[in-house]
Structure 1
Amino acid sequence: MRFLNSLANFIPFKALFYNFQNNLICPFYHAVSNEKLLYSNHLIYTKNVKEFEEDIDFLLKHYKPTELSSLLKIAQGENELKAPSFFLSFDDGLRECYDIIAPILLRKGVPAAFFINTAFLDNRDIFYRYKINLLLNKYIENRTNKSMVNKVRELLTKENENYKTPFDLLDFQFNNFTFLDNLAPILSVDFGNFLETNKPYLTTTQVEHLIKQGFYVGAHSIDHPLFYTISENEQVRQTTESVQQTVEQFRLPYRIFAFPFTDAYLPLSFFKKIEPFVDLTFGTAGLKKDVITTNFQRISMEKKNRSAEQILKQEYLYSKIKRVIGKEKIRRNQ
């Protein structure tokens, strides 16, 4: 990847961009902020307002923003975009979508979709990795406290002999979420108080306002599990129930879903089961096409010190290489 980054820097954007077979790209973010987000600063690189506006301006220079209706037609084989286009989206339903992102997009005339976790709407609960991030910040703040450090290590090693500090909880195989609630008092972290005081997630009223402003809203699962670590039945439940709740609560005429983390390893049987309940789904595999025509892959734009141009140049170059070796399309097991 580093080699591709370096190589892409020397190739003009137009050389990679023009004559590309797919006219649609789907960039996505989580949040935009000029402040450090205490729940995600160890997990995601959050672009500031200047960086985000520069990204949007670059996209508008080279692509046409498109509406959800165009993607629905593409999925049904009824339409192909004539001009290079982009469909923008944001995951996790964070408050910055309403406070910062939506005003910028309205000013620039860019439509977008906001994907929410139904369990976290109205700040009723918080994503387990955001809990880990809050614990990490408190641990770093107090790691000169030997008594606290020893207590944390003791609890961690009981959970997993390989765990020594809260950084080890970032392991994607970690799934004992109640353990986080047991660790929190040792680090003087109160998740409920954080939700009440900081309100990191969108509220129902804010979502309704976003819809009135012309934005799209979709589901991002119930509580953001890593799909390939749960059973297919639970995958289906997380998808269909969150979509149904979002559609019914906000009276939506469409049914869209963005996979939390990734849609990697999901078989054809899963997509067959959700087909009656979901119109479109969105993954995170970049510029790849999918054998599932209703599943659109997206490009993460949250890379430190990387502009939209740099990120997209790398994606185009990587995609061209994949095409040469016949791996440009995601194929799925039965």
Structure 2
Amino acid sequence: MTLKEKYTIKDIAHMAGVSKGTVDRVLHKRGKVSKKAFEKVDKVLKEIDYRPNPIARNLKINKTYNIHVLLPDPRKDPYWIPANEGIIEASNQFMPFGVMVKKYFYDPNDRSSFLEESRQAIISQPDVLLMAPIFDNESHEVLKQCCENKISVVLFNNHINSFKEQIFIGQDLKQSGRVAASLMDKVIGENDEIAIIHINKEPHMQQKENGFKEFFKEKSGSKHLVLSKEFNSAEKRRFNQDVSDFLKSNKSINAFFVTNSKAYILIEAFQELEKRERIVIGYDLLKPNMKYLKEGAINFLIHQKPHRQAFLGVSYMAEHFLFGKGLPTQEFLPIDIVTSENAQYYI
């Protein structure tokens, strides 16, 4: 048999001596086919090493896949701007193949907003819900509803450990806390005290704290006292006063680990108080964070890659639908350390 690069259903039907409809039913595993006809078609397919084009198949059957994204409003928290851009990029890439992405923005400071937007997202019965969960109890309720409605769930940025029917894309949060502790250990004095600062604490920040404390607990000969403190930044004057009170009560603390993207808010509070150098490690490449990094007010930033997280969340599901690719249970992204010397390569 002469080989050719591509074979149509008509070609295969001619070679097998059956109708095009029979070949179509065998290829797409639908409808009834006699054993004899199946064996004829199967023999030809093996001889020509036939491999279907999954994109063409999906376009032919005009199948549409719906991915709904539940995301904190990037207009209210700039950390989520890159994540939104990652979703837009992936959406534009896969839209021509019938993958439709719809976003639902919620107020990261309002639990009722999260619940309302999640309700709207679930009502439409998407094939998958891509979600960045901030509120712990409410997120568990959303995951439960998705399970009941047989909607697949992909989580990114924040992990919910107690719920197994999900895919997670992001950093190993506990390990990122250990990385921060390792950096801190290299730049502080032998007996310096350290403060772990949670600004507008979310559940995932505790995992970072756990990893940070675990590092120093395991380090032989470590004498560092590590305290943790939560602040709310909703009202700037109150926040600055709370920071001032904390510093007055803990005058020996000179090293700070901020567990989210808001290290710059802490720096601004410091600058309204006495002028003195402090060691600060934080997260994420927001413009004000990068500014203070270059100026030396922040020593290190850990890059969580929100753009990459969101892009992969959409892409993995799209490729699963279109190509039948397997899905990872979890995808841990590299933990990048950004300093004033390499910051320019991340801009």
TM-score, normalisation: structure 2: 0.29
TM-score, normalisation: structure 1: 0.30
